[in-house]
Amino acid sequence: MNAIPRSATLIWILLLGMIAACGKSPPARNQEKAAVPSSESTKSPTVLEIEECKFSRADFADYLSSRYPDLKLDSSRSSLLSRLFDGFVDYQILRYRAEQAGVTVSADELPGLSEKLQLPSDSLPRPILMETARIQKYLYFNYFRQQEVSDNEIAEYYRTHRNDFRQETEVHLYQILLSDKDQAIELRGILQNSPDRFEELARTRSLSPEAVNNGYMGIFEKGVLPEEMENVVFSLRPHQISPVVESKFGFHIFKVTSRSNRRTLPLQRVKSQIHRDLMSQKLRAAYEVMLEEARESLHIKIVKENMGFTYSPETGDHSDETDN
């Protein structure tokens, strides 16, 4: 089997919201995998059919409780329940397709797949982990493996989205905060004559939490600080001591140690980010195509009257519905 590259970890993002209650699924053949369940019960009516497989209202309830244990739902929230049910349908389609394709995950494969796909193996029950790995393996080898992002695509995206990579003016900012204006004016006079004492006095005199870091507040872009502070801070030259600035917090003295002016980040600096974004778009598009093909080719029936709430399908849903 070919190795699954790191880009396949994005598949996990696509599937995070689709982990269902698979704990009841028995192993099939000699592989430790979950078979497509048939959960029709005399006590729980069928709400979904995919080919020969039937899923009950209890299956959907298990799916919800495993995914959203703290979410309080009742039949009055039919719009939300409808979208959650759509996710349940998509998940069962994936399971069915993986089963049809004969995809298996052995106990020996699981640790390696979990690491490569960055599955949260410590928090998922083993049956769910096995099923999730099986679905991702199916998606990767049938839909995602052929997806690539070329240098030309990256360059074109950069050319047409240059504003997305514009970096505002940034400063490394220090401050001393005092509660008394006269003390602040006196301290600023000391700093005017001995600017190299700023960090020392910030550490010993400032009331701000940053005092433990010699007054260092961090890196700030233009547009983040309150207006009365920003106008002063971004007018400072490196190592210049600011006038006393009054705010609701007290009386501030600022110092900027370095600044970088507004600029567009070069392509090489953002290339990996663009690659990730474009690959994510392609994987999601391939995933949607796969689901659409499955909805068109499989017999999928939603039995609305058995759900216990008023189901409303999304526009473009091609599954059969019945009220009988």
CATH of the domain at 44: 1.10.4030
282 CB neighbour count, 10 Å cutoff:
18
Share of the chain above pLDDT 70, in %: 82
The pLDDT value given to residue 263: 82
DSSP state of 212: G
Of 23, 34, 95, give the one whose Cα is nearest residue 63: 23
Which pLDDT does position 124 carry in this prediction? 67
The values of phi and psi at residue 312, to 5°, are -125, 115
Strands 250-260 and 263-264: unpaired
Residue 237 is assigned to a structural domain of this protein: yes
Please report which confidence band the pLDDT of residue 315 belongs to, taking 50, 70 and 90 as the band edges.
low
* pLDDT computed for residue 1 by the predictor: 44
Count structural domains, the chain.
2
User: Is 256:172 a contact under the CB 8 Å cutoff?
Assistant: yes
Residue 302: the pLDDT is: 95
Which of 217, 261, 214, 258 lies closest to 238 in space, CA to CA?
A: 258
Are the C-beta atoms of 317 and 90 separated by less than 8 Å? Answer: no
CB 202 within 8 A of CB 210: yes
Same domain assignment for residues 137 and 193: no
Residue whose token pair is 């399971």: 95
pLDDT, residue 12, reads: 46
Joined tokens for residue 305: 């009257």
236-262 mean pLDDT:
94
Is the Cβ–Cβ distance between 236 and 254 less than 8 Å? yes
212 shares a domain with 310: no
Domain match, 68 and 176 both: no
Segment 228-233 long-range contacts (CB within 8 Å, at least 24 positions apart): 229/254, 233/171, 233/173
Asked whether residue 68 is assigned to any structural domain, the reply reads yes
Q: Please report the pLDDT score of residue 107 as a whole number.
A: 86
| Rounded CA separation 96/294 (Å) | 10
How far apart, in Å, do the first and last CA atoms of the chain sit?
46
We report the CATH number of the domain holding residue 242 as 3.10.50.40
- Domain for residue 191, yes or no? yes
Which stretches of the chain are assigned E, i.e. beta strand?
Answer: 46-50, 53-56, 166-167, 170-178, 216-221, 245-247, 250-260, 263-264, 300-303, 320-322
* Same domain membership, residue 213 and residue 291: no
How far is residue 60 from each of residues 55, 170, 209, 288, 295, measured CA to CA in Å?
8, 51, 50, 22, 19
Verify that 284 and 238 share a domain, yes or no. no
The two beta strands, 170-178 and 250-260, are antiparallel
* Cα of 67 vs its chain's centroid, Å: 16
pLDDT digits (tens, 9 = 90+) for 11-32: 444 554 443 333 333 333 333 3
Tell me if residue 136 falls in helix, strand or coil.
helix
> Which pair of structure tokens corresponds to residue 122?
């410590």
pLDDT in tens, 177-197: 999 999 999 999 999 999 999
Residues 199 and 220 in one domain: yes
Portion of the chain with pLDDT greater than 90, in percent: 56
Residues 139, 225 within the same domain = no
Question: Residue 67 — very low, low, confident or very high, per pLDDT cuts 50/70/90?
Answer: confident
**What pLDDT, on a 0 to 100 scale, did the predictor assign at position 120?**
66
Q: Which of 240, 261, 282 is the last residue of a domain?
A: 261
User: Can you give the pLDDT at residue 321?
Assistant: 61
Based on the domain organization, do 89 and 227 belong to the same domain?
A: no
- Whether 164 maps to a domain, the answer reads no
Contact 121, 137 (CB under 8 A): no
Could you report the per-residue pLDDT of 264-306, keeping only the tens digit for each? 889 999 999 999 999 999 999 999 999 999 999 999 999 999 9
- Check: pTM over 0.85? Answer yes or no: no
140, 173: one domain: no
Q: What are phi and psi of 68, to 5 degrees?
A: -130, 70
Instruction: Report the pLDDT value the prediction gives residue 32, as an integer from 0 to 100.
Output: 37
Tokens of 230: 């920003």
Residue 239 lies in a domain: yes
Of 55-64, 68-77, 116-125, 240-249, the least confident: 116-125
Among 92, 85, 129, 123, smallest CA distance to 107 is for 129
Per-residue pLDDT of 94-150, as tens digits, reads 999 999 999 999 888 888 877 777 776 666 677 778 888 898 889 988 888 889 999
Which of 212, 233, 261 terminates a domain? The answer is 261
Domain range for 307 is 6-148+272-322
Cβ contact 80:73 at 8 Å: yes
191-222 pLDDT, tens digit per residue, is: 999 999 999 999 999 999 999 999 999 999 88
Whether 160 is in a domain gets the answer no
Q: How confident is the model at residue 37 (pLDDT cuts 50, 70, 90)?
A: very low
